Structure 1
Amino acid sequence: MNRETYALVKDNKAEIALPAGVTVQVKVKTNSKAMQKVTLKDNHDRVDLEFAGTGEKNTIGDKTITPVDKSLFTAVFEYAGDDGVFKPSKLNSGGPYDIGNYHLMVVVAENGDDSDYNDTVLEFSWHTK
């Protein structure tokens, strides 16, 4: 396992390092009535994904990526207020959690209507040999 795998959050942005050469499942879920948006880009412009949606327990994104080298990713989290204007979310992160050869890392967002940090959930998971 590459110990340089991490997620660092600051304001509404997360810097994410994923293992190279491994297929990574990227899932985005919402748990909010407010429109949620996550934009994920790598530092080589090879990955450029945007996910948006609303609802409780709603999967709004499910993609696979394979980082080629030491790509750093940036995820930007926003939500639309009642006025329809996107505003920055507050973030928290966890992981990577290693369960045998399964690995999981999450970044979660809160839009301020409560404090449960599940309005948007960005999940990265992968297997190693």
Structure 2
Amino acid sequence: MSDSVAIYLPLNSYISVRGFTNAAFPQSVAIVDENGGSHEMSGSGEQDTPMQNGSYGFTTPSTAKNPGGFQVTVTVQSQQGGQWVPSQVTSGKTSLAYYNLVLVVSEDGADTDWNDAVVQFSWWTTP
């Protein structure tokens, strides 16, 4: 697995983003979109502790470079022994009725629980 993952979001949609930690090691998340826009969030703590700068939203453009949607790349690192170390990341998508969610989860290598940094991208579609 890699320390980053590319996800594809729907065009012309408002996307809510939320980041949480479930780790004692400090976590750092970099989010970069295909147009060069970026956002960083960080933090540490257990039980879905909200990350600093971890709640924001944006509207995707009406066109994208990929037919799959507007590409956003999420990269996660954790601080261990005074150094930033790449975390492993993976992603998944689910929908329920008109609500859609893409999750990016990470593992910093300490306990293999895959919840050390969690980033949620959510949006809804109109019926």
Could you tell me how far apart the structure 1 residues matched to 2:72 and 2:90 are? 16
Unaligned runs of 5+ in 1: 1-9
Where in structure 2 are the equivalents of 1:46-57 lying within 5 Å? 47-56=37-46, 57=48
Deviation at 1:127? 0.6
Tell me how far 1:31 sits from its aligned partner.
Answer: 0.4
Does residue 65 (structure 1) correspond to residue 33 (structure 2)? The answer is no
Q: 2:116 aligned to 116, 119, 127, which one?
A: 119
Distance, in Å, in 2 between the alignment partners of 1:21 and 1:51 is 24
TM-score by length of 2: 0.88
**What is the aligned residue count?**
117
TM-score by length of 1: 0.87
Secondary structure of 1:112's aligned partner: coil
Q: Percent identity?
A: 31
Q: Measure how far apart 1:92 and its partner are.
A: 2.1
Match of 2:88 in 1: 90
Question: RMSD of aligned C-alpha atoms?
Answer: 1.0
Matched AA of 2:78? Y
C-alpha deviation, 1:93, in angstroms: 1.6
Partners of 2:31 and 2:71 lie apart in 1 by 10
Unaligned runs of 5+ in 2: 65-69
User: Which amino acid in 1 is paired with 2:105?
Assistant: V
Instruction: Find out whether 1:79 has 2:69 as its counterpart.
Output: no
SS at match of 1:11: coil
How far, CA to CA, are the matches of 2:74 and 2:102 in structure 1? 13
Alignment partner, residue 21 of structure 2:
30
User: 2:59 & 2:5 partners in 1: Cα distance?
Assistant: 19
Task: Look up the match of 1:5.
Answer: none
SS in structure 2 of the partner of residue 24 of structure 1: strand
